[in-house]
Homo-oligomer: A and B are copies of this chain.
Amino acid sequence: MHDFFRPTIQQMTPYAPGEQPGGGKLIKLNTNENPYPPSPKVVAAITHAAQRLERYPDPIGSAFCQRAGEVLGVDPDSILCGNGSDDILTIVTRAFVGEGDVLRMPTPSYILYRTLAQIQGAEVEEVPFADDFSLTEQFSAPTDRLKLCFLPNPNSPSGTVLKPQEIEQLADQLPCPLLVDEAYADFAEFNCLELVARNPKIMVSRTLSKSYGLAGLRFGFLVAAPELISTLRQVKDSYNCDALSLAGATAAIDDQDWLTENRKKVLATRAHMVESLRLLGFSVLDSHANFVWCTHSQPVQPLYEALKRDGVLVRYMKYAGWGEGLRISVGTDSQIDACLTMLKMHLGM
């Protein structure tokens, strides 16, 4: 039966998301979920929308685009709603990258991009970050078959961020569109939204999974030139967002007070994590996201395993040529204190 699949599908390396164990009393710090529940206004909007599910949803999510446009200061016609930002990344890849084309991404970063290229039968060009997680000239070099660049900013797993000026220069040099994946931008000090109106090659994707505490809702969106959005809407599934997620997302983006308050809590815990992990002997990069990337002079895989036995899930990651590290999501203060206590114990300190 396997022979019926396209050759590129037969050969692909599937993307493995972080573990999502069902139930139990785990402290889950492995997939960068927000440790706090979303705005109560989101839950109220969903409960209301659940009363009329027999009708199809608005195919383009006009109400969300309108409200998000006002809140973010962008044209509503420059917004594409997606079933999570994964859906956005899939739509964009399908629209720009075909068999034999090249998709460029930095490494180490979000390995899903590689899988998306492989499904298209495209070639993925992984350009290593410099040691300080800045981009090298190789990333902006124009090449023949290059059709799309993905750049996560802030990046995962490093938590580092590039300034908008650098990204604008990069886009000017590239021969193709550049998607800036801003999944974590609400936890950073700046973002690239304003660049979209200045350079139509720049597209910015966002998700409500992290900063709005809505990983379970599957809602993301793209901000790009309206002429790109109108064609991307032809590539997406007709009704790619359901009535519940559209209602919840509109309520979420409307409640900026909740976002401000949540961000403040997450950033305070993050500062405490960075400081404490350094005291435990970890090398920790300054983070601009809701997770912290840390490496150690001793192997960290045993630490990951020991934490897991304790009921604390963090993400162990290993990149060829880069070594290994732990990516620990910012949890509540008590979750982080528990994690730190166990790390200290396992380090014999």
Interface residues of A (CB under 8 A from B): 1-2, 4-9, 12, 14-15, 17, 20, 22, 28, 31, 33-38, 42-43, 46-47, 49-59, 62, 83-84, 86-87, 90, 94-99, 101, 112, 115, 119, 121, 147, 176-177, 200-201, 209, 213-218, 225, 227-228, 231, 234-235, 237-245, 248
Q: Is the CB–CB distance between A231 and B5 below 8 Å?
A: yes
Interface of A is mostly: loop
A215/B20 contact (C-beta < 8 A), A231-B5, A235-B9 known: no
Q: Is the CB–CB distance between B33 and A228 below 8 Å?
A: no
| Identical chains in the assembly | 2
A217/B244 contact (C-beta < 8 A), A46-B46, A46-B50, A96-B5 known: yes
Q: Is the CB–CB distance between A231 and B84 below 8 Å?
A: no
Q: Is the CB–CB distance between A55 and B84 below 8 Å?
A: no
Residues on B with C-beta less than 8 A from A231 are 2, 5, 9
Q: Is the CB–CB distance between B239 and A242 below 8 Å?
A: no
Closest to A8 in B: B98
In Å, the complex CA distance between A225 and B9 comes to 17
In Å, the complex CA distance between A346 and B233 comes to 37
In Å, the complex CA distance between A8 and B2 comes to 27
